Amino acid sequence: MQISSARSRSRQFRAVATFLVVAFALPLLASCGVNAIPTYQEQAKAAWAQVLNQYQRRTDLIPNLVATVKGAANFESKTLHAVVEARAKFGQMQLPADVLTNPQAMRTFEQNQAGLTSALSRLLVVSEQYPELKANANFQTLQAQLEGTENRIAVARRDYIGAVQAYNTELKTFPGRWWASLLYSDAKEMAQFTIEEKAATVPAVNFNQP
């Protein structure tokens, strides 16, 4: 009986000791940044989702924009074709599952978006030569929506850049580097944008100018 009682007390002691160790260790681990890598990773993924959403928003505006511009007499067919072609090229692109950790895939994505930006920029500039188009209420509405979307794209890109910078920095510095090798060996650095934001911005066009 004494042996059994002693074993029971020993098990209870070990259980209490284990509980105390865990109770003290968890806050220490949290304060040491053990959760920083997955947290930053999820933030970067969320920021990327917003980038895709805003680019898709712009893409969805193009059919109506093109249809409206076609109504203008003798509008440059070459300019319209460039916009349609650039949109189609983006629509045909299949983003790989590892796009966030694949610099080449990210570069291709950016180049396609930059091509569409350039084509839209040309269309807006050329439209200045068509007074009836500038006076078209539907065209002005679409232009305003496009300009607003470009602003959202700029914000989404900025947020993504910041989120990826925080994540990549965590992987390269201590204690994040230590946690990566110990717990998150599959964590990889994420690809950044390489095209400057100003090169991906449609210039504002004032349709009220005479």
Q: What is the pLDDT of residues 121-147, one digit of tens each?
A: 999 999 988 998 989 999 999 999 999
The whole-angstrom separation of Cα 119 and Cα 88 is 12
**What is the pLDDT, as a whole number, of residue 166?**
97
**What is the pLDDT, as a whole number, of residue 121?**
92
**What is the pLDDT, as a whole number, of residue 22?**
41
What class is the 41-200 domain?
A: mainly alpha
**What is the pLDDT, as a whole number, of residue 24?**
47
Nearest to 82, CA basis, from 113, 116, 51, 48: 116
Is it true that the peptide bond before 63 is cis, omega within 30 degrees of 0?
no
Ranges of the chain with pLDDT below 70: 1-32, 196-210
Q: How many CA atoms lie within 13 A of 57 on its CB side?
A: 17
- b/e burial code for range 101-110 (CB count within 10 A of at least 16 → b): ebeebbeebb
Q: How many other CB atoms are there within 10 angstroms of residue 76's CB atom?
A: 16
The distance from CA 43 to its chain's CA centroid, rounded to whole angstroms, is: 10
Nearest to 144, CA basis, from 210, 68, 85: 68
Residue type, 161: I
Nearest to 171, CA basis, from 45, 48, 43, 38: 38
> Strand, coil or helix: what is 183?
coil
Nearest to 142, CA basis, from 157, 123, 155: 123
pTM attached to this predicted model: 0.79
